[in-house]
Amino acid sequence: MKKLKAIDLFSGCGGLTLGLKQAGFKVVGAVEIDSLAVETYKKNHPEVEVWSEDIRKVKGTEILRVLKLKKGELDLLAGCPPCQGFSSIRTKNGKKEVQDERNDLIFDYLRLVKTFLPKAVMMENVPALAKNYRMGIFKKELGKLGYNLNGTPLILNTADYGVPQRRRRMILVCSRIGNVELPKGEARKITVREVIGDLPRPGKSGDPLHDMKENRDARIAEMIRLVPKNGGSRTDLPKKFQLACHKKLPEGFKDVYGRMSWQDVAPTITGGCVSPSKGRFLHPTQNRSITLREAALLQSFPQNYYFSLNKGKQGVALMIGNALPPAFIKKHALAIKKSLLAAQPR
C-alpha cells in the first residue's frame, strides 16, 4: 500500500513533518522562509522537496507540477501559520492581537488549499486564533469547498497527547471525504524526570546542544543556586536576591527564575527556553537553565534530531520554541490517516 502524501506549510525546523512521518505519511513538500530552519529541516528530512521562500510568492500550481500531483490528489495539507501576532506572550491577557503583517498569512494557506484541494487539512496554532475573524473566514471558505470541520478548531493541551509539556494549542482538522474521529486526551502525563532525568551533566556528553556553557554574573549564579530544588520559585528567594523589577510587580511573571519539577510536565517551551529570566526554565536540581537538547526533548523531538548552530544558541532556542511538538501532531495525523484509508475503495 502506498503511503499517503502530505505537504507541510510554514515547516520551521520540521516538528510537524516529523509527527506526520511518525504517523505513516510521506511528506513530499514543505515551504519555509527562514534559512536556519530550512538548513535544519533539510538535514533531518533530506527526501522532502523544500520551497525556501516567502509563501506569498509561492505558486501552488508550480508545487503541483514539481511534485507531479493533480488538483485533488494530495492527501493532507498541514501547517502552522506564524502566530506571533496572536500569541498571549505578545498580547495583553491574550485578548488583543498585535498588528503584524504575518497575521494574514492564514489567507495564503487558504489560497493553497483552494489550489491543491487536498483530501484533508490540518492547522495548528495559538488558541487566540480560534476566535479571530480570520479563522471565521477560513472556516467559511473551507465549508464552501466541501470540508467537514469535525467540530474544530479545538483548544487542547499537548500534555494530554504524549508531550511532556503544558502547552495550550488550537488545532483544526477537516476532511472533504469523510469524518475524522479525533483522538482523546490521556490521563497519564509524561514527566520531566522521564524525559531528561537520565541525561549526563552538560559538558562532556559529546552533544553540542547539551554541552554549551552558560555565562552568568556572580549575583545571578548565586540567585539561581538559592532557588529551592524541584519546583522552587523566585518568590522563595531572600529579599536581597529579588530583582528590583520583581519587587515592583510581586504578582507578575512568577515563573521567571523558577525551577521545573521532576514529577510534573514542563511549562510551555518558548524561544526563551534557555534563559531563566524568560520563564520556569531552570533545571529541577542542577544550578543552571535547561540545555538546548533538554528543551528539544521536552518538545518531544528525538535525542538525535539535528539543529543548526550557525546562528548560535538563541537561533536554536527560537527554532525549538517555535516548533510543533511531533508527538502531538502524530496523534492527530494517525486519526486523519485512519479516516482517509477507510474512505479508499477496496
Active-site annotation, residues: 83
By DSSP bridging, strand 168-175 and strand 120-125 are antiparallel
8 neighbors 31 (Cβ within 8 angstroms): yes
CB neighbourhood size of 105 (10 A): 22
- The conformational region for residue 5 under phi > 0 = left, psi -120 to 50 = alpha, else beta, is beta
C-alpha grid cell, residue 191: 514527566
Q: Which residues of 262-275 are buried (b: 16+ CB within 10 A; e: fewer)?
A: bebbbbbbbbbbbb
Residues 6+ apart with CB under 8 A from 211: 202, 203, 204, 205, 291
The alpha helices in 23-120, defined as continuous H runs, are 35-44, 60-67, 106-116
The whole-angstrom distance between residue 192's C-alpha and the CA centroid of its chain comes to 18
- Count CB-CB contacts under 10 A for residue 160: 18
